[in-house]
C-alpha cells in the first residue's frame, strides 16, 4: 500500500498536488504536513499533521508512525524570503532537507521527490539554453541551499541507493494558492493586480526575462517523473524544465489584450539583482528524453486561462 507524506503541503505547489494525489491514490493514502495549521480545511478532506522539517526527530517519527512509503518534500523558503532571513532559509532548506533525505534513506522510503529550482544558477552560468550540467554557483541563500540539496541527493543515491528525484522548477504561474515570496512571483501578482486594480508596480525591470511554466504542467511533470522507471533517470534533481520564457513587459502586453486599461510601472528592487543572475532560457531536452517531459500550455494559453480563473476567484467573471 502507498502512503505519501507531503511536506510544505499548504504552499503554492503542495496545495494543488494534494488534490491530484488524493484522486489518484485515495485520500487515506496521503498525509499532508506543514509547519502551520491550514487556514481552511482542504477540499479533499486529507489528513493533516504539523511537521517542522528542521526537527530531525519529528521527521523520523512521522515517517515511522504513519508507515510512509513515498515523500514529496516541498517545504522550502523561496529566494526573496530567503534573502530577508538567510538563517531561516538555511534551517528549512538545508537542515530540513538533510533531515528528510536521511530519514527517507534510513527508513527505506521507495521514492523521495524534491523540487529544485533555477535558483541554483548564478552569474557565471550561461544565460541561454542552459543545460542540466553547468556552472552552479548561486549568490542567494536559496540557491546555495538548493545546490546543496542536489548534491546531497546524488550522494545518498550513489552511497545508499536512495531513489530521490526532482526537477529544477522555473517560475510557476498559478491562481489557487499565492506563492510565498519568490523572485518569479511578480508573474502571479501581475494577474491579480490587473484584474482587481488595472495597475501594477513591478519589482523587476521590463526586460528581465525568466523561464516560466503554468501550474498544470508543473504538476503533470512532477508526477511523470514520479512514475518514471528508475533505470531511465540519468540525474537526480538536475532536470531543467520550463514551458516558455518572458519578461515583465511581454507579460504586461499579453495581459493587456484581456484587460484593456491595464497599466504597469517599474520599480526594480533587490529581486532584480536575483533575477538578473538567473538564466533567460533553459535546455529541457534531457527531461524530455529521460522521462517524457512535454508541457502543454503555451504562454498565450497560460495568460488566457489565468485571466479567466483569477476573475472567477475574485468573483468578477
Annotated catalytic, 142? yes
Using the contact rule CB under 6 A, the part of the chain among 54-62, 150-158, 181-189, 254-262 near ligand SER is: 181-189
Q: Which ranges in the chain belong to alpha helices (H)?
A: 14-25, 56-65, 79-84, 86-89, 96-106, 141-160, 186-197, 215-227, 248-256, 270-275, 285-291, 299-313
Cα(17)–Cα(305) distance, rounded to whole angstroms? 19
* DSSP code at position 245: E
User: Cβ(205)–Cβ(266) under 8 Å?
Assistant: yes
User: Cβ(82)–Cβ(42) under 8 Å?
Assistant: no
Q: Name the β-bridge partners of 246.
A: 210
Query: Least distance to ligand SER from the beta carbon of 47, Å?
Result: 28
Judged by CB under 6 A, the chain residues 245 through 274 that form the site for ligand SER are: none
Query: Least distance to ligand SER from the beta carbon of 118, Å?
Result: 5
78 interacts with ligand SER by CB under 6 A = yes
Residue 302 CB-density burial (10 A; 0-12 exposed, 13-18 middle, 19+ buried) = buried
In the chain, count H helices and then E strands.
Answer: 12, 14
H or E, element range at 202: strand 199-202
183 interacts with ligand SER by CB under 6 A = yes
79, 153, 209, 302: residue in contact with ligand SER (rule CB under 6 A): 79
169, 203, 239, 262: residue in contact with ligand SER (rule CB under 6 A): 169
118 interacts with ligand SER by CB under 6 A = yes
119 interacts with ligand SER by CB under 6 A = yes
Query: Least distance to ligand SER from the beta carbon of 126, Å?
Result: 18
15 interacts with ligand SER by CB under 6 A = no
94 interacts with ligand SER by CB under 6 A = no
Residue least distant from ligand SER (Cβ): 182
171 interacts with ligand SER by CB under 6 A = yes
Q: Name the β-bridge partners of 50.
A: 34
Contacts to ligand SER by CB under 6 A: 78-79, 117-119, 142, 169, 171, 182-184
Active site residues: 142
Amino acid at each position: 500500500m502507498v502512503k505519501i507524506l507531503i511536506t510544505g503541503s499548504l504552499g503554492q505547489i503542495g496545495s494543488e498536488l494534494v488534490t491530484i494525489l488524493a484522486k489518484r491514490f485515495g485520500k487515506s493514502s496521503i498525509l499532508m504536513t506543514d509547519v502551520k495549521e491550514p487556514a481552511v480545511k482542504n477540499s479533499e478532506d486529507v489528513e493533516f499533521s504539523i511537521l517542522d522539517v528542521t526537527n530531525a526527530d519529528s521527521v523520523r517519527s512521522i515517517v515511522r508512525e504513519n508507515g510512509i512509503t513515498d515523500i514529496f518534500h516541498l517545504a522550502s523558503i523561496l529566494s526573496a524570503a530567503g534573502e530577508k532571513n538567510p538563517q531561516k532559509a538555511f534551517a528549512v532548506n538545508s537542515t530540513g532537507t538533510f533531515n528528510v533525505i536521511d530519514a527517507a534513506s534510513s527508513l527505506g522510503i521507495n521514492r523521495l521527490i524534491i523540487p529544485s529550482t533555477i535558483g541554483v544558477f548564478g552569474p557565471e552560468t550561461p544565460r541561454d539554453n542552459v543545460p542540466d550540467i553547468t556552472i552552479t554557483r548561486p549568490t542567494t541563500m536559496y540557491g546555495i541551499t538548493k545546490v546543496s540539496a542536489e548534491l546531497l541527493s546524488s550522494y545518498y543515491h550513489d552511497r545508499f541507493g536512495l531513489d530521490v528525484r526532482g526537477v529544477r522548477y522555473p517560475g510557476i504561474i498559478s491562481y489557487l494558492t499565492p506563492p510565498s515570496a519568490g523572485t518569479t512571483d511578480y508573474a502571479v501578482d501581475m494577474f491579480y493586480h490587473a484584474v482587481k486594480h488595472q495597475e501594477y508596480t513591478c519589482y523587476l525591470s521590463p526586460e528581465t526575462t525568466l523561464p516560466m511554466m503554468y501550474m498544470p504542467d508543473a504538476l503533470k511533470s512532477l508526477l511523470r517523473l514520479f512514475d518514471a522507471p528508475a533505470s531511465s533517470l540519468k540525474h537526480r534533481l538536475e532536470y531543467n524544465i520550463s514551458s516558455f520564457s518572458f519578461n515583465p513587459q511581454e507579460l504586461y502586453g499579453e495581459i493587456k489584450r484581456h484587460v484593456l486599461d491595464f497599466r504597469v510601472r517599474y520599480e526594480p528592487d533587490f529581486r532584480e539583482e536575483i533575477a538578473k543572475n538567473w538564466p533567460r532560457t533553459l535546455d529541457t531536452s534531457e527531461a524530455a528524453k529521460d522521462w517524457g517531459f512535454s508541457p502543454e500550455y503555451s504562454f498565450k494559453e497560460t495568460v488566457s486561462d489565468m485571466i479567466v480563473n483569477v476573475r472567477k476567484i475574485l468573483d468578477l467573471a
